[in-house]
Amino acid sequence: MNTTRQTLMQRRIELVQASGALRERLVQHAHAVGPALDWAERLRRAGGWLQRHPLVPAAAGLWLVWRRPRGVLRWAWRGWAGWRLVQRWGQAWLWREPNKHSSPRGGGR
């Protein structure tokens, strides 16, 4: 065998070993993220259940309006005010004047 082929085979062996080590590290890191992913999966399943059973949250909302109308109105008003605030901040963020130093070309519009 020529030396180039031997060098390439040795490099391949090293890369396969490095790949295996990286795969093991990925598995270890994935175990650390597992609980967060479990919660995300639970939320996804709950959202799917609510989509399949839309009358349950509607009935709960109607029951709250019937039993505690002031509380529902108070939280609805807070939600509406929060939504307006987010909208104003979003518009201010989108329409703000760009910083001259932030553009990769160094200029404004």
Tens-place pLDDT, residues 52-93: 999 999 999 999 999 999 999 999 999 999 999 999 888 888
Q: Is residue 21 part of a domain?
A: yes
- Tell me the per-residue pLDDT of 20-37, one tens digit each, with 9 for 90 and over: 999 999 988 888 888 888
**pLDDT value of position 93:** 80
Contact 107, 101 (CB under 8 A): no
pLDDT at 109 over 50: no
Alpha-helical runs (H) found in 53-95? 55-67, 69-94
Q: Which domain holds residue 47?
A: 3-53
**pLDDT value of position 92:** 80
Q: Is residue 86 part of a domain?
A: no
Domain tally, the chain: 1
Q: Is residue 69 part of a domain?
A: no
